[in-house]
Amino acid sequence: MTDSAPLIRARGLVKRFGDFVAVNGIDLDVWPGEAFGFLGPNGAGKSSTMRMIGCVSPPSDGELTILGMDPRRQGPAIRARLGVCPQEDNLDPDLTVRDNLVTYARYFGIRRAEARRRAAELLEFVQLTERADQDVEPLSGGMKRRLTIARALVNQPDLVLLDEPTTGLDPQARHLVWERLFRLKQRGTTLVLTTHYMDEAEQLCDRLVVMDGGQIVAEGSPRALIERYATREVAELRFGADAPLDSYAEKLAGIGERCEVLPDRILLYADDGDAAVAAVQARELSPTQVLVRRATLEDVFLHLTGRSLVET
Partner 1 sequence: MRAIHPAWAVFEYYLTTYRRVWRGTVFSSFVLPVLFFLGIGLMVGEYVDRGGALPVPYTQFIGPGLLAFTGVQIALMEAGYPVMGGFKWNKTYYAITAAPPRVRDIVAGQLCYIGLRTAVATVAFLVVMFPFGVVSQGWAVLAPPVALLMALAVAAPMMAFAATVEKDTSLALLFRFALLPMMLFSGVFFPLEQLPELLRPVAYLLPLWHGVELCRAAVVGLAPSWPVGLHLAYVVVWVLSGFLAAVARFQRRLVR
Residues that bind partner 1 (CB under 8 A): 17, 51, 54, 56-58, 75-77, 79-80, 82, 84, 86, 88, 90-95, 99, 103-104, 106-111, 151, 155
Q: How far is the CB of 25 from partner 1 (least distance, A)?
A: 19
Nearest to 294, CA basis, from 208, 222, 192, 191? 222
Q: How far is the CB of 9 from partner 1 (least distance, A)?
A: 21
Q: How far is the CB of 86 from partner 1 (least distance, A)?
A: 7
Q: How far is the CB of 260 from partner 1 (least distance, A)?
A: 37
Q: Which is nearer to partner 1, 51 or 174 (CB)?
A: 51
Q: How far is the CB of 171 from partner 1 (least distance, A)?
A: 27
Q: Which is nearer to partner 1, 135 or 260 (CB)?
A: 135
Q: Under DSSP, is residue 24 helix (H, G, I), strand (E, B) or coil?
A: strand
Q: Which is nearer to partner 1, 115 or 295 (CB)?
A: 115
Helix (H) or strand (E) holding 312: none
Helix (H) or strand (E) holding 123: helix 112-125
114: amino acid identity, one letter:
E
160: β partners: 83, 191
Q: How far is the CB of 20 from partner 1 (least distance, A)?
A: 12
Q: How far is the CB of 192 from partner 1 (least distance, A)?
A: 14
Q: Which is nearer to partner 1, 155 or 231 (CB)?
A: 155
**Max CA separation in the chain (angstroms):** 74
Nearest to 305, CA basis, from 210, 225, 200, 194? 210
Going by C-beta distance under 8 Å and a sequence separation of 6 or more, which residues neighbour residue 94? none
Q: How far is the CB of 129 from partner 1 (least distance, A)?
A: 20
Q: Judge residue 89's burial from the number of C-beta atoms within 10 Å of its C-beta, 0-12 exposed, 13-18 middle, 19 or more buried.
A: middle
Q: Which is nearer to partner 1, 73 or 311 (CB)?
A: 73
Q: Which is nearer to partner 1, 51 or 196 (CB)?
A: 51
**Residue 61: C-alpha distances to residues 15, 16, 47 (Å):** 7, 9, 17
Q: Which is nearer to partner 1, 152 or 177 (CB)?
A: 152
Outline where DSSP puts E strands in the chain.
8-17, 20-30, 35-39, 61-66, 82-85, 159-163, 190-195, 207-212, 215-220, 233-238, 258-261, 266-270, 289-294
Q: d(Cα 45, Cα 198) in Å, to the nearest integer?
A: 17
Going by C-beta distance under 8 Å and a sequence separation of 6 or more, which residues neighbour residue 63? 9, 10, 11, 12, 13
Q: d(Cα 246, Cα 219) in Å, to the nearest integer?
A: 31
Q: Which is nearer to partner 1, 113 or 241 (CB)?
A: 113
